[in-house]
Amino acid sequence: MLARCATSPIRRWVLDAFPRGQSGVDYDQPAGDAGLFGPDSVTWRIHADFPGMLAGGLSSLMLQALHPRVLAGVYDHSNFRHDLVGRLRRTTAFVAGTTYAATDQARHLIERVRRIHHQVRGTTADGLAYAADDPDLLTWVHVTEAHGFLQGYRHYCQAVPEALADRYYDEGRRVAQALGARQVPASQAQVQAYFEAMQPQLRFDARSREVMAVLARIRLPVPLAGLSRDLFLGAAAALLPDWAPPLLALGRADRARAAVSSAALRTMAPLFRMALTDGVCARACARIPVPLEQLHRWPTQAEVPSAFTAPG
């Protein structure tokens, strides 16, 4: 009874913010189809954790705001100023679908996004051409998201063995390459080297400030919307790599608030997991079928496929 009293409001919060059944993806069929990753993957485990995924996704948006050409595509071709919640929901649906849906449905989602990307092109304020299907831009978006999700899981769920963290980055290339990304980092060391190589291209300009301001004003359709926003944005900022806060003009007070939010979300995270035992991951496990409890332990080396390649 006490657990239900604690988890019911959290469940309502999540389902109000991210309603189910709107993506059109059927996670129950066809039976036995493991999708692009399957239950022995690291990806299935990391993407099943709501607090880490939401905080990690917001963290990746902060990093993406530092890339002028990536930001230009969002700035010129989306209504993020007025519907950032919708953008978050669409991104969440894509990640969930490509992770847990059956193979054909995951590929359909990828092809739909490829078609959308093909239409997004233009010129930055400095005269640089950009296109959403540029492999370099796709790689930046993918790496920032993968980094955010992995760090979110580490901060708000549990530690990730080093070898399996590398495996997570390796697995994630499957979707990134199918979207058109190239030279996608496949390990923690490669991601660190990639971030170091990219830093000279990054900047915090007027458009970056506007995106950060929009994030700071986001209001999810949930009770205590402002408190919820500040909690998750602070928890997201705590996931940024060390070089990013100065670039984003996050000062000492911002970092202190991020530390408080991070500690608060770590305390609350088990309640989220207790409240959300019937999501798309559970449905995908039933489709295979494998017990959901299998995802509560790390896969052994023998269980994990030796390589992941882009789907044909």
**Phi and psi at residue 102, in whole multiples of 5°?**
-65, 165
How remote is the C-alpha of 213 from its chain's centroid?
Answer: 20
Is residue 120 within 8 A of residue 77, CB to CB? The reply is yes
- What number is the average pLDDT over the span 18-28? 89
Residue 266: inside a domain: yes
Is residue 174 within 8 A of residue 37, CB to CB? The reply is yes
pLDDT top residue among 65 and 87: 65
67: helix, coil or strand? Answer: coil
Residue 307: inside a domain: no
Residue 9: inside a domain: no
- What number is the average pLDDT over the span 260-281? 94
Residue 127: inside a domain: yes
Confidence band, pLDDT 50/70/90 cuts, at residue 305: low
Which residues of the chain form beta strands (DSSP E)? 121-123, 129-131
- What number is the average pLDDT over the span 47-57? 96
Residue 307's pLDDT is 44
Residue 280: inside a domain: yes
Residue 243's pLDDT is 97
Looking at this protein, which amino acid is placed at residue 106?
A
Neighbouring C-beta atoms of residue 233, cutoff 10 Å: 23
Q: How many domains does the chain have?
A: 1
User: Quick check: bond before 19 cis, omega within 30?
Assistant: no
User: How many CA atoms, within 13 angstroms, populate the side-chain half-sphere of residue 107?
Assistant: 10
199 burial class (0-12, 13-18, 19+ CB within 10 angstroms)? middle
Residue 137: inside a domain: yes
Residue 308: inside a domain: no
The tokens for 42 are: 């690291």
Of the listed ranges 141-145, 217-221, 283-287, the one predicted with least confidence: 217-221
Question: Which domain, by its residues, includes 120?
Answer: 30-296
* Chain segment 173-222, per-residue pLDDT in tens: 999 999 999 999 999 999 999 999 999 999 999 999 999 999 998 887 77
Task: Answer yes or no: is pLDDT of 2 > 50.
Answer: no
